[in-house]
Amino acid sequence: MTLSRTELGLKFNPSDEEIAFYKRNTGIQDDDRLREHIVGVAQKALEIYPYHSIHTFGFIRFRIRRFESGYQRLLGLGSTRDNALFLDLGCCFGSDVRKAIEDGYPARNIIASDLRPEFWNFGHELFKTDPQTFPVTFIPGDVLDASFISIQPPLQIPLENSIVNTTILQTNAKSLDFLRGHLSAIHTSAFFHLFGKDEQLIIAKKLASLLSPLPGSIIFGSHVGGSEALEGARNGTGTMFYRHSPETWREMWEKQVFGGEGQVRVEAEIGGNLDDRDARIMIWSVVRV
Cβ contacts of residue 19 below 8 Å, gap of 6+?
A: 31, 34
- From first to last of the 289 residues of the chain, give the pLDDT tens digit: 566 777 787 789 999 999 999 999 999 999 999 999 999 999 999 999 999 889 899 999 999 999 999 999 999 999 999 999 999 999 999 999 999 999 999 999 999 999 999 999 999 999 999 999 999 999 999 999 999 999 999 999 999 888 877 677 667 789 999 999 999 999 999 999 999 999 999 999 999 999 999 999 999 999 999 999 998 777 666 678 899 999 999 999 999 999 987 999 999 999 865 554 567 899 999 999 9
Domain boundary among 59, 75, 96: 59
User: Could you tell me if 53 and 76 lie in one domain?
Assistant: no
Q: Which domain holds residue 46?
A: 5-59
The long-range contacts involving 239-242, CB below 8 angstroms and separated by at least 24 positions, are: 239/194, 240/196, 241/193, 241/194, 241/195, 241/196, 242/195, 242/196, 242/197, 242/200
Provide the β-strand partners of residue 55.
none
User: Could you tell me if 46 and 108 lie in one domain?
Assistant: no
The pTM for the full model equals: 0.93
Say what the pLDDT of residue 215 is. 98
User: Could you tell me if 87 and 189 lie in one domain?
Assistant: yes
Which residue type does 278 have? D
User: Could you tell me if 24 and 121 lie in one domain?
Assistant: no
The two beta strands, 230-234 and 218-225, are unpaired
SS3 call for 217:
coil
Say what the pLDDT of residue 236 is. 60
Domain boundary among 59, 80, 98: 59
Say what the pLDDT of residue 276 is. 42
**Number of independent structural domains in the chain:** 2
Of 128, 146, 130, residue with least CA distance to 138: 130
Say what the pLDDT of residue 168 is. 72
User: Could you tell me if 46 and 81 lie in one domain?
Assistant: no
User: Could you tell me if 284 and 146 lie in one domain?
Assistant: yes
User: Could you tell me if 20 and 66 lie in one domain?
Assistant: no
Q: What is the CATH number of the domain that holds 111?
A: 3.40.50.150
